[in-house]
Amino acid sequence: MKKFLSMILILLVLLAFSLDFKAVQFKLVEAKFLEARSLHNVNHMKEVIDTLETNLQDDTDIYTLLAEAYMEYGLWGVSEDLKEETYEKALEYAKKAIELDETNGRAYYVAGATIGRLAQFKGIVQSLFMLGDFDNFIDKALELLDDNFYRGLALTAKGMRYRDVPWPLNNYKKSEEFLLRALEVLPNYPNIHLELGKLYEKWGKKELAIKELNIVLESMPHPLLIKTHEEAKAEAEEILKRLK
């Protein structure tokens, strides 16, 4: 009788686990996502995506995490020929998250950042048409976000947008304003100094560029973005070689 009751209990636990993914397993998957993003662990990010795809529910948090996982996976986890397709999936899920909760600032950020990356695969005319969508999503994210990490990332994306679009649509002063605002809310993210350094190089402000790039080399990584910092240091060193 005891064995029978134990089996029933195990079956009930397994049933609850399968029926209520959000309550039981979601936090574990989210923790795995954070580790995979920080270390650029391709296998772990693929496991995160597979788990979320298997347990899809009409839940804004699940869609948001899946969208961000695809966005990161597209950046450093897939070959060049699969990047555009992977970003398209990220955008699709981010939009679903927004449909379920129009106050989901993180989902707006993921949608905007993904559009920025997708624009790299489009012709110059089509990519310029995408600027409006990028601005709409990122501006809405900045309106809604109270999480300084994602707010800082959104401000950084906005700064890069004004720096990198073709003349006469660029605005180096606006780019600087957004990147400095990003530093205010996310001061321990050295990549913002990298983006400032790249801005000042384009702007012809060599001494400021060198100053910002040296900060990248001297800084500790943000704990959520360790591998990104390693890549930023390597890029900063290459730019400094050009400037010195």
7 vs 26: which has the higher pLDDT? 26
pLDDT reading at 122 higher than 70: yes
What is the per-residue pLDDT across 167-194, written as a single tens digit (0 to 9) for each?
788 999 999 999 999 999 999 999 999 9
pLDDT at position 88: 97
Cα–Cα distance for residue pair 157/165, rounded to 1 Å = 12
pLDDT at 104: 98
**Mean pLDDT on 195-219:** 97
* Fold of the 25-145 domain: 1.25.40
Q: Is the pLDDT of residue 89 over 90?
A: yes
Give the mean pLDDT of 153-170: 93
Indicate the length of the chain as a whole number.
244
The dihedral built from the CA positions of residue 192, 194, 195 and 199, taken in this order, carries a sign that is positive
Mean pLDDT lowest among 49-58, 99-108, 124-133, 225-234 = 124-133
Q: What is the pLDDT of residue 64?
A: 98
* Pairwise CA distance, residues 86 & 29, whole Å: 20
Q: What is the mean pLDDT of the chain?
A: 91
* Neighbouring C-beta atoms of residue 70, cutoff 10 Å: 29
Residues contacting residue 229 through CB under 8 Å, at least 6 positions apart: 190, 191, 219, 220, 221, 222
Quick one: pLDDT at residue 134? 96
Q: Do the domains at 25-145 and 148-244 have one common CATH topology?
A: yes
pLDDT for residue 12 is more than 80: no
Boundaries of every domain in the chain: 25-145, 148-244
| Higher pLDDT among residues 47 and 5, named by residue | 47
Long-range contacts of 41-49 (CB under 8 A, 24+ apart): 42/73, 42/76, 42/77, 45/69, 45/72, 45/73, 45/77, 46/73, 46/77, 49/73
Kindly report, residue by residue over 139-151, the tens digit of the pLDDT.
999 999 999 999 9
Q: Return the closest-CA partner of residue 228 out of 176, 193, 178.
A: 193
pLDDT band of residue 24 (cuts 50, 70, 90) is: confident
pLDDT of residue 19: 55
Cβ burial of 18 (10 Å; 0-12, 13-18, 19+) is exposed
In this predicted structure, what is the pLDDT of residue 167? 76
Model pLDDT, residue 13 = 45
Residue 2 has pLDDT above 60, yes or no: no
Q: What percent of the chain has pLDDT over 90?
A: 82
Cα–Cα distance between 56 and 40 in angstroms, integer?
24
Tell whether the model's pLDDT for residue 198 goes beyond 50: yes
Q: Which CATH architecture has domain 148-244?
A: Alpha Horseshoe (1.25)
Burial class (CB in 10 A: 0-12, 13-18, 19+), 76: middle
How far is 227 from 34, CA to CA, in rounded Å? 12
